[in-house]
Structure 1
Amino acid sequence: MEIQLKNDERIDQLMQYDLEIIQSPSVFSFSLDAVLLGDFAKVPKHNRAKIVDLCSGNGAVALMLSQKTKSKIIALELQDRLVDMAQRSIQLNHLESQVEMIHGDVNEATTHIKKDSVDVLTCNPPYFIVSDASRKNPNEHLAIARHELHLTLRELMTVSAGLLKTKGKAYFVHRPERFLEIMDEMRAVDLAPKRIRFVYPKPDKEANMILIEGIKQGKETGLKILPPLYVFDDNGEYFPEVRRMIYGNE
């Protein structure tokens, strides 16, 4: 079956996973945060789990997770253009029987996914609080993906906790400047933060990303702050750990 590409679309490689993904510079391309989240999330290898990826974009994280488990993955995305790109990427990789892409609003996720039914949930959400500038962003696709125009942090945590089973796990990638707010919103819905990793562009720079694992109705004790993850060395080359996440074991 031949996959049709639209005007400015291209096919890129998800190299570590030997997958292909449809991207568009003007609509949406996944970035390093998706790769880090796909690697950070722990999913069972068996085929009995229910795995959900919220704010799925063009499906990058869902595609990555499909290579780490035999379980089915449901991906939810608000923007129909991105859903269409993701669905064609799923077909491109012959994953139709494992990955299901749903066009829907995260706030209405329980109309598609049963409450208290999910074992593992991932989300690369909009990072930025809405401002006048974000409302005026000329690229609507990017504005929705990056700014809380349709989904706030509080709404995300409420929906995530509602979907997860007791002791189900949630994985998020976000921005360090909102760390305290994220912790407050997680704890407010009984999502206990369990593992946290700060990501730094270089060893001498401030962190610019954060990876978080939470457990629904988990114990308040036992939080682990993992070693820092540095992306680039002084020569602008990827550190070996990040290189492995992107390219696999070469």
Structure 2
Amino acid sequence: MRLNVWRKVELLGYPKYQIYQHHEMFSFTLDSLLLADYIRIRKDVKNILDLGTGNGVIPIYLTLKTEAKITGIEVQEDVYKMALANVLENKLKAQITLVLGDLHQLNCYPLKSYDLISANPPYFKVTKKSNLNLSPYKQIAKHELMVTLESLLKTVSKLLKNGGYFYLIYFPERLKECFNLLEKYQLEPKRMRLVYPNQAKKANHVLLEIKKSPAKGGLIIEAPLYIYQGDKWSDEVLKIYNCGSDNNAIE
């Protein structure tokens, strides 16, 4: 995949950042930005890991919030090269490190080495009825061909420090399965926010803040997030797109 067939776009309302994308790959979408915006980075966070980083948009967005070191791991070589080009284009090499590999290669990483982990993983299981996209890049991004929900959470539990936080955007219809696996791997959901296309439709995404802790605690169900108001972006989505949210570093 050559650089001259990539398309450079502005990171929405952030003209300081330019992002390379490609039409055959899974370009960054609202999902990634909703997740990046939802992440709260505490002042003591030093090391962040983004699993399945794609073209690097989540690590790049997070540099608006923190000076912590960020590592992104991507299994697809062409997508990894695009992410690397994005990091270099935006002069973020000192803060963002990219790794080409899958979850198995993380087994050699020190246990409990990250303060915060994020992931926008594939939502769909692969079955005989799966309608796989023709693009192999999009197949891997959308379907559990390379990583399952359980393998993801098992890896997160190993690499996340006790008391550290994991941020996930996922598919509401698999929420029960997700909660069962979180309990299995001593990961405790702390905040949850359902995302709706509009007030007339059912939720199609869920944002989760998860803490590495064996102790049980309360779960805060936050106000719903609506993507559209009528036929226009909601005020909250416009805020994420154009000037960021109030999810800055906290105590």
TM-score range for the pair, normalised by the shorter chain length? over 0.9
* Residue among 149, 152, 155 paired with 1:153: 149
Q: Which moved more, 1:21-30 or 1:206-215?
A: 21-30
**1:19 Cα deviation (Å)?**
1.3
Q: Do the aligned residues in 2 keep the contact of 1:15 with 1:248 (CA within 8 Å)?
A: no
* 2:113 paired residue among 104, 114, 117: 117
Cα shift at 1:20:
1.1
SS in 2 for 1:132: coil
1:202 aligns with 2:198: yes
Aligned residues: 242
Separation in structure 2 between the aligned mates of residue 181 and residue 60 of structure 1, nearest angstrom: 28
Q: Which moved more, 1:115-124 or 1:15-24?
A: 15-24
Aligned-partner Cα distance in 1 for 2:111–2:77: 24
1:80 is aligned, of 77, 82, 101, to: 77
Q: Does 1:14 align with 2:11?
A: yes
8 Å Cα contact 1:55-1:106 kept in structure 2:
no
Q: Which residue of 2 aligns with 1:166?
A: 162
Partner deviation per Cα, 1:146-186 (whole Å, 9 max, x = no partner): 00001010000000010000001000000100010111111
Letter in 2 for 1:40: Y
Aligned-residue offset at 1:43: 1.5
State the Cα deviation string for residues 220-245 of structure 1 (Å, max 9, x = none).
222100000000011x1111111111
The structure-2 alpha-carbon separation of the partners of 1:194 and 1:22, relative to structure 1 and needing over 3 Å to count, comes to: same
Q: TM-score w.r.t. structure 2 length?
A: 0.92
Equivalent residues of 1:197, 1:229 under 8 A apart: yes
2:236 corresponding residue in structure 1:
241
Structure 1 unaligned segments of length 5 or more: list them.
none
Alignment partners' CA distance in 1, 2:133 and 2:210: 32
Q: Name the CA shift for 1:130/1:244 in 2 (closer, same or farther; >3 Å).
A: same
Aligned residue number for residue 41 of structure 1: 39
Would you say 1:105 and 2:98 are equivalent positions? no
Are 2:127 and 1:131 aligned?
A: yes
CA positional deviation for 1:115:
1.4
Q: Structure 1, residues 66-95: CA drift from partner, whole Å, max 9, x if none? A: 221011100001000110000000011000
CA deviation after TM superposition for structure 1 residue 109, in Å: 1.5
Describe the SS at the equivalent of 1:172. Answer: strand
Aligned counterpart, 1:50: 47
Instruction: Provide, for residues 7-56 of structure 1, a one-character-per-residue CA deviation record: whole Å limited to 9, x for no partner.
Output: 2x11111134431111111122111100000000111356x611000011
Distance 1:133 1:141, change over 3 A: farther
Change (3 A) 1:78 1:54: same
SS in 2 for 1:211: strand
- 1:136 is displaced (CA, Å) by 5.1
Partner of 1:29: 27
Is the CA contact 1:45–1:68 (under 8 Å) kept in the aligned structure 2?
no
- Percent of aligned pairs sharing the same letter: 35
Normalized against structure 1, the TM-score is what?
A: 0.92
Q: Choose between structure 1 and 2 for higher RCO, CA contacts under 8 A separated by at least 6 residues.
A: 2
Q: 1:39 to 1:130 in 2, by over 3 A?
A: same
State the Cα RMSD in Å. Answer: 1.6
Structure 2, gaps ≥5 residues long: 245-251
The answer on 1:67 being equivalent to 2:82 is no
Equivalent-residue separation in structure 2 for 1:133 and 1:49 (angstroms): 43
Distance 1:211 1:21 in 2: 24
CA distance in 2, matches of 1:121, 1:143: 23
Letter in 2 for 1:169: Y
Provide the secondary structure at the position in 1 that maps to 2:233: coil
Structure 1 residue identity aligned to 2:187: L
